[in-house]
Amino acid sequence: MTDALLLPETPSAAPRRPSARFMLAHPAHFVALGFGSGLSPLAPGTAGTLWAWLSFLVLQRWLSPAGMGALIAASVLVGWWACTVTARNMRVADPGSIVWDEVVAFWLVLWLGMPAGLPGQLAAFALFRFFDAAKPGPVAWADKTFKGFGWRGGFGIMFDDLVAAACSLLVIALWRFF
């Protein structure tokens, strides 16, 4: 067994800073750090969301809407595992460099919000970043409720961003309705 698998559910050692070496040391790290976008020294959550946007535009050329939905569903489950392992190995409950939660949540916003031109996609990006960063109302509740380590913490890393996506989609729906 590796040392990473022997860490307790509530790490007490000093937090680890992510690096390219750390990212490549385990498949979960590679996924959770958004294939490297989470290593951005400035605003890793925004970098992860931008990576999500670009990758969505590429993926939608090859995947049907149902295929994209299946990818998003699978990515939530894989992300839960990857975020759990990576947070434990970093010894931080919800590290900013873990951006897979932003990736999957923004894919969800784009998938349900499409078709949209560049102005609509920019608005979706701005709304999602607002809800994710400011954490108003239900997003703050989701963020506080599932903090910690282990599977609950990994779920919490993903869940608050999915709530931010739902809030963004609600605003987009209301905007389109009125």
What's the pLDDT at 56?
98
Distances (CA, A) of 76 to 24, 107, 145: 21, 11, 18
Q: Read off the pTM.
A: 0.91
pLDDT of residue 10: 53
Would you place residue 77 in the very low, low, confident or very high pLDDT band (cuts 50, 70, 90)?
A: very high
pLDDT tens column, 133-153: 999 999 999 999 988 888 899
Instruction: Please say whether the beta carbons of 107 and 75 come within 8 A.
Output: yes
Q: How far apart are CA 174 and CA 178, in angstroms?
A: 6
**What are the boundaries of each domain within the chain?**
58-178
Which has more confidence, 100 or 4? 100
